[in-house]
Amino acid sequence: MKINEILKKKGFAQDCDESQALYKHLASRIHKNNYYVEDAREGMSVVNVAIIGWWKPRFLMDNDAKRAYEFLTPGEHFCTVTPDDIDWDSLKGLPEECLERAHDLNAHFPTIVGWYNNGVAQVRWQLNPDGKYYMDEDGFGMTDDVEVEIYGFIDRQGKVLTKFRHVNKNWDLLEAMKKEAESKAANQQPYYTTPT
């Protein structure tokens, strides 16, 4: 069931938009469910939910605006990222299964939303874990997989400001992406009026 259908069933006011209703719903249930809420700074929180035994960044909460946004589905797919938000040229040469996960917007492996700074947050999206991911507690099952991560930057609603790229440890490129995202965020019109 989609989140807006759940909100309608819960009877949230019609004059409330979806992001306001979701915020109210999460704020009222945060301590009743198995959520792990992280302070993401600048008035933002990341609401992590255990999905298949791993904490996933399921919702973003803008505590200043009293709005929340679905970031990942329960099926571990991005809600705010589209295939157009990926720099496909930077992914050339990656294994086919990594490209398939990117095309599917699949966030099954660790995906991390960093702290907000100047209105943007870095997202680290792992397309393939290293071989230790598959190892059991006795040290068996490790594969020769190489970790593959791509990075992007999002705004307070989870919308992508700089396309996800495979930076291949080029931290200068990552810093340039951050600066580009900050510039875009500074020029955005507010999505809402601040509640009184």
The count of residues in the chain is 196
Mean pLDDT of the region 135-156 = 79
According to DSSP, the β-strands at 67-70 and 54-62 are antiparallel
Mean pLDDT of the region 80-105 = 97
Mean pLDDT of the region 157-181 = 97
Mean pLDDT of the region 152-161 = 98
pLDDT of amino acid 52: 85
CB–CB of 107/90 below 8 Å? no
Mean per-residue pLDDT over the chain, rounded: 87
Model's pTM, two decimal places? 0.86
Q: Evaluate if residue 58 carries a pLDDT over 90.
A: yes
